Amino acid sequence: MEAAIILIFVSGYLAITLEHSIKIDKLIPALVMMASCWALLALGLDMFPNWFESSTHTLIDTFGSFSLEEKKHMMEETLLHHLGKTAEILVFLIGAMTIVEIIDYFDGFSTIKDFIKTRSKVRILWIFAILAFILSAIIDNLTATIVLISILQKIVKDRDVRLYYAGLIIIAANAGGAWSPIGDVTTTMLWIGKKVTSGHLFGYLFLPSFLCMAVPTLIASFMPVFKGELDVEEEEEKATSKYSTVMLYLGLGAIVFVPVFKMVTHLPPYMGMMLSLGVVAIFAEIYSSARFSMTKVDKSESDAHAHHSPVHHSLSRIELPSILFFLGILMAVAALESLGILFGFAGTLQEVMPMLGTEIHAGEGVSDLVVLLLGVSSAIIDNVPLVAASLGMFHEPLDNELWHFIAFSAGTGGSMLIIGSAAGVVAMGMEKIDFFWYIKKISWLAAIGFLVGSAAFMVTRTLF
C-alpha cells in the first residue's frame, strides 16, 4: 500500500511538472493526488507498521500493535493537525492577495510608474531590479512580478528588449522573496511552521539575496541589449483614483505590520493579516463611497468599480486556483510524512550524501550539498512540495541555519528555469517567453546569482 501511495504521489508530481506540456492545470493533479493518498492511507491503515506523529516529530514504530480504533483516532488527529497548519498558510495568503487586489482596485501601483523618469536602458534595468527586490519582500514575488511586468509593458515597447528585462525581474523578485517571511510561499511556510523568525531571516539572508539579485543585474548591465536609451512613446494619461497613493502606502504598510503583530502578540501570522485586511477594507469602503452617489457616478471610474464593494470585487479576483493547489500539495506531502516515508528518506539521504557541513550544522549534520541540490531541483519541480517535504524530513530547532539555507535555496534556485518559480510562470504567460530562449539567455545569470548568494550565506551564517 505504501508503494501505491508513493506511485500516486510521483505520478501527480510529474503531472504538475509537465503542466504546460499536457495542458492540464496543476491544480487538478494536486487535488486528485491529495485525496487519493489519504484514501489509500485510510483503507490500508491496518497494514502500516509505522506512524509519524507530526505534533511531536516522533516516529511511532509500534504503530502496528495498536488496535484499529486507536489507529483511526490517530489518523483523524494527524489529518486535523495537518489541515490546521495548512489552513494557517492559506488564510494568510488569502488576506495578502486581497490587500494587493484592493491596492490595484484604487490603481495604487500606477504610483510606481511615476518613479521612472530616465530613458537609459541600464538605469531602468537597475530601477526594475531594485523595485522587484523590495516589492517582492512586501507583497510576495508573484504579485511583484505581475505589477512590474505590467508597468514594463507600458515603458518598453520593443518586445525583444522587454524579454531581457522580464528575465532579470524574475531573478530579482525571487531573490527579494527569500529574505522576507511574507515574500515567498515557501518562506511563509517555514515562518508559520516556526522554523525561522523574521529577525534571523533578515540577518541570515538579506546579503545573500541582495547579491543574488545584484550580481546578475551587474553582469547584464554590460550586455549589448542594455546599451543606449529607450524610445519612449508619449501616451495619453489615464485617469486614476485620487486615493491611489494613499491606498498603496496603506496596503503595503498593513502587510509589513504583520510580522510586527506576530512579534508583539505571539499569535499566528494569519491573525495579523486578517487585522491588516480589516483595516485596509475599512478605508477602501470609505474611499469607495466617496467615488459615487445614488444619483451621480464619477465617470473617471470603471463601471465594474462603480457598482461593487471594493472588498467584494477584490475577493473575486484573488488566485483561488493557487490556494487550492497549495492545499492539495501540502496535504499530499502530509500523507507521506504521516507514514514516516519522509523521515526514512531524510535518514537515507544524509547517509548517502557527503557530510560537507557537519562541523557547522550541529546535531544531524545535514550536508550543504543536499540543500544546494534542493535549490537546483526547485528549478525543475515546484518548490512548495520540496519545502513541505523538508519540513517532514529535517527536525532542527527554530532558526537553525539549515532552515534559512533551505529558504534561500528553494526561493532563488527556481530562477534557473522559467518554469521553476511562480514568478517565472506568470512572466512566461504575460510575455509569452519561450522556455529554451530563457535557458539560453537568462538561466546562466540566475545560476551565477544562486551560487554567489549560496557562498555569501555560508559566510553570513558564521556570524550568528
What is the predicted pLDDT for the residue at 357? 42
pTM exceeds cut of 0.85? no
- pLDDT band at residue 283 under the 50/70/90 scheme: very high
Question: DSSP 3-state assignment of 301?
Answer: coil
pLDDT at residue 233 greater than cutoff 60: no
Least confident stretch, 125-129, 135-139, 228-232, 257-261: 228-232
- The dihedrals phi and psi of 360, each to the nearest 5 degrees, come to -100, -45
Average pLDDT over residues 41-47: 87
Query: Could you give the C-alpha distances from 95 to 109, 267, 421, in angstroms and in order?
Result: 18, 16, 21
Average pLDDT over residues 98-104: 87
Q: What is the pLDDT of residues 142-154, one digit of tens each?
A: 778 888 887 888 7
pLDDT at residue 46 greater than cutoff 70: yes
Q: What is the pLDDT of residues 408-426, one digit of tens each?
A: 998 899 899 887 787 887 7
- HSE-up of 113 (CA within 13 Å, CB side)? 17
- pLDDT band at residue 297 under the 50/70/90 scheme: very low
Least confident stretch, 66-80, 97-111, 236-250, 319-333: 236-250
What is the predicted pLDDT for the residue at 274? 94
- pLDDT band at residue 133 under the 50/70/90 scheme: very high
Q: What cell was used for 399?
A: 532558526
pLDDT at residue 208 greater than cutoff 80: yes
pLDDT at residue 429 greater than cutoff 80: no
Q: What is the pLDDT of residues 18-27, one digit of tens each?
A: 776 778 888 8
What is the predicted pLDDT for the residue at 294? 37
The C-alpha atoms of residue 430 and residue 418 are separated, in whole angstroms, by: 12
The pairing of strands 58-60 and 51-53 is antiparallel
Choose between 27 and 207: higher pLDDT: 207
Q: What percent of the chain has pLDDT over 70?
A: 86
Q: What is the pLDDT of residues 353-409, one digit of tens each?
A: 554 444 444 334 567 888 888 888 888 766 776 787 777 677 788 888 889 999 999
- pLDDT band at residue 166 under the 50/70/90 scheme: very high
pLDDT at residue 306 greater than cutoff 60: no
What is the predicted pLDDT for the residue at 409? 92
The C-alpha atoms of residue 288 and residue 277 are separated, in whole angstroms, by: 16
**pLDDT, averaged across the chain:** 82
Average pLDDT over residues 229-240: 61
The C-alpha atoms of residue 265 and residue 199 are separated, in whole angstroms, by: 16
